[in-house]
Chains A and B, each alone.
Chain A
Amino acid sequence: MKETILLTKHMRDNPEDSHLIDSYEKNNGYTTAKKTILESSPEKILEEIKASNIRGRGGAGFPTGVKWGFLAEDEDRYLVINADESEPGTFKDRILLERDPHQLIEGIIITCFSANIKEAFIYIRGEYAKPARRVQQAVEQAYQKGYLGKNIFGSEINLDIVVHLGAGAYICGEETALLNSLEGRRGEPRLKPPYFPAVKGLYMKPTLVNNVETISSVPWIIENGGEEYNKLGVEGSTGTRIFSLSGHVNNPGNYEIEMGSSFGEFVETLGGGIRNNKKVKAYIPGGASAPWFRGDQLDIKMTIDDVANNNSMLGSGAVVMMDEDTNLVSAAKSIVSFFAHESCGQCTPCREGTTWLEMILDRIASGRGRTSDMNLLLDVCDNISPGLSWPPKMTTICPLGPSAVSPITSLMNDFRDEVESLIPTKVLL
């Protein structure tokens, strides 16, 4: 199994200075944006994006062309790049921001041309200070060259980009919470409907919210054509995708591959196998929100639909391998604690439920669990996401609460013995 290099080509070819505009331009950077602005039309660009069948790389996997098509008419419309990458296990946008910020800016220029947008924001998580510095420098260089600002590339078109730093809140990766945050409010998700960003987004104006990787793919798609992109990967999961591999593997890292191989092949070849030749006990196929797969499920294909058909999600493309020695109760506790900490507090089932789950798991992990805790865990989960089905049913405004349920249902379905073994047998409550 080999990588297919589109998005990470420039940074690989020019490792030392791929973040600078001179290096980017020497390798034909900004030629696609220039050609688009001077020779193409918004409709043509949208057609190419639709033909590429690219689906959003942030987690939900919504078709990008369809999303762009939903954008309501208005004089003021905005593009917001979601660079609030914070799903545990994920570090793929970080490399795109740090090492190829101009590719993202070129993608923004093309996107804004297609959607008739004059102002874009790049919302970068606060902990990504270094990536934010690189992006800010790149934006300044693009302004100096006349690729941003007034009359870009000598055309009649104006485009401004503002780099905005978040301040440590996972929930702002949820698009409507991100918009509230960008408006200077608490990062609390909005109800959809009526607040679909494409209709009522930033400042209640139509807004496109797209992930860094999605928009970084745009220059390649426009340069080579949507059809070419569509040929890569498999139906429903076209193109390449950067997977972040971590956990107990020999070679953790970001790998750009065409979707369609199995997780097992991915880990054995590019990942260099599991450390110390151990076996996989369980793995997370798409970030902390995703239900786990067992070690005997490594033949599942890495496509959005295959993973969904097996009751999990490819999510943000974060694959975390846990070997046979992993304490899965501690692992689940870590994930549940994450969601308890990051709950925005608006909805009771999430605010209270995640905290309870954390406390119950904590007492089980520390050997103070009660026999009744097994059912209590599932009962609390059921109150957050009734029926414990996949995709999860919701009692909350956004999917954060149900995400905390994922690791627990995985534990209870597949590793119940491991949880029970931690509960002292003499406790009868």
Chain B
Amino acid sequence: MSWDDKLLKQAKKIIKLYPQKRSALGPLLHLAQSKDGYISDDSITVISELVGITEVQVKSVSTFYSMYKQEPTGKYLLSVCKSISCEINNSSEVINKVQEFTGLNNNETDEEELFTFEAVECIGACGGAPAVQVNYETVEGVTPENAINLCKWLKETKPDVVVADEMQENFGGIKSFDWAIQDNSGATSTAPGFQTLKTTKVKK
């Protein structure tokens, strides 16, 4: 198995949360994504053994969901929303600028593996259109100009943790609602910055 002991321990904890092992498949794929930046063949083998289903079944699920990437991603996944509220608030220009800056087409990763770009469907930030996510951390009210500034900043400072509040303050504008609560948490990979790990559930 190519997952180290620490990761396997996390995986086993996740599996214990559910009445049936297979329910852990989604969270384990997120775990694999956080390890490699995509769902590698190795991870598929490990997960199939952990959950007790075939590799094809794991692959079939992993290819259904858009957040499980089938190819390696860059350090930063740039997701620009193109759904209705963003579309009528000029998201196409934001998309153009990000593509210009990174030189990437949809779902492409650059050679340095710094950026992966994707135009995505609604991310629930319609009041703050147009909206962008970096590694699933949301920035709202992003002008085309600030989209470039955001990319430049990522390229120059290469933060290890991507924090929504920080990006919003420097590159954001109008918001869907008052965020109110100060928050320094964020994402460290192209998997969402969330793992079902610290649960205190008491198993029967």
Contacts and interface: CB of A to CB of B under 8 A. Distances in A.
Given A126-B67, A168-B67, A338-B121, A91 B176 contact: yes
Nearest to A327: B88
B124 interface: yes
Contacts of B82: 334, 337
A322 B202 contact: no
A187 B30 contact: no
Given A91-B127, A94-B124, A166-B26, A338 B84 contact: yes
Contact of B27 (A164, A254, A320): A164
Interface string B149-166: 000000000000000100
Interface stretch (A103-111, A137-145, A294-302, A387-395): A137-145
A129 interface: yes
A139 B53 CA distance: 30
Interface in B11-54: 17-27, 29-30, 51, 53
Contacts of B64: 169, 186-187, 344
A252 B176 contact: yes
B7 interface: no
A136 B83 contact: no
Contacts of A94: 124, 176
B192 A342 contact: no
B202 A150 contact: yes
Contacts of A414: none
Given A129-B194, A248-B88, A91 B125 contact: yes
Contacts of B182: 16
Nearest to B179: A98
A165 B121 contact: no
Contacts of A99: 180-181
Contacts of A244: 126-127, 176
Contacts of B201: 143, 149, 160-162
Given A165-B27, A182-B23, A183-B23, A247 B180 contact: no
Contact of B61 (A76, A168, A185): A185
B185 interface: yes
Contacts of B121: 86, 88, 170, 338, 341-342
Contact of A88 (B126, B174, B180): B126
Contacts of B27: 164-165
A88 B26 contact: no
A331 B26 contact: no
B102 interface: no
Interface residues of B, number: 64
A171 to B, nearest CB: 9
B72 to A, nearest CB: 18
Interface string A116-154: 000100000111111011001001100110000110000
Given A15-B180, A88-B122, A126-B136, A331 B23 contact: no
B177 A165 contact: no
B2 interface: no
A254 B127 contact: yes
B85 A246 contact: yes
Contacts of A76: 19
A127 B26 CA distance: 14
B193 interface: yes
Size category, A interface? 35 or more
A95 B51 CA distance: 34
A128 B124 contact: yes
A409 interface: no
A19 interface: yes
A184 B84 contact: no
Contact of B68 (A17, A167, A170, A252): A167
Given A18-B180, A91-B176, A252-B176, A129 B66 contact: no
Q: Which of A125, A130, A341 has the most CB of B within 10 A?
A: A130
A203 B83 CA distance: 34
A163 B68 CA distance: 19
A136 B127 contact: no
B199 A140 contact: yes
A85 B121 CA distance: 12
Contact of B24 (A89, A126, A149, A184): A184
Contacts of A344: 64
B27 to A, nearest CB: 7
Q: Which of A143, A184, A284, A318 has the most CB of B within 10 A?
A: A184
Contacts of B164: 130
A182 B124 CA distance: 21
A152 to B, nearest CB: 11
Given A181-B26, A246-B85, A86 B193 contact: no
A357 B180 CA distance: 42
Nearest to B30: A165
21 contacts: A15-B181, A87-B122, A88-B84, A89-B122, A91-B125, A119-B19, A125-B124, A127-B124, A136-B194, A136-B196, A143-B200, A162-B196, A164-B26, A164-B27, A168-B66, A169-B64, A184-B26, A245-B127, A320-B84, A331-B84, A334-B83
Q: Which 7 A-B pairs have the closest CB atoms?
A: A184-B25, A167-B65, A184-B22, A168-B67, A129-B192, A252-B127, A168-B66
Interface of A: 11, 15-19, 76, 85-91, 94-95, 98-99, 119, 125-130, 132-133, 136, 139-140, 143-144, 149-150, 160-170, 181-187, 203, 244-248, 252-254, 284, 288, 318, 320, 322, 326, 330-331, 334-335, 337-338, 341-342, 344
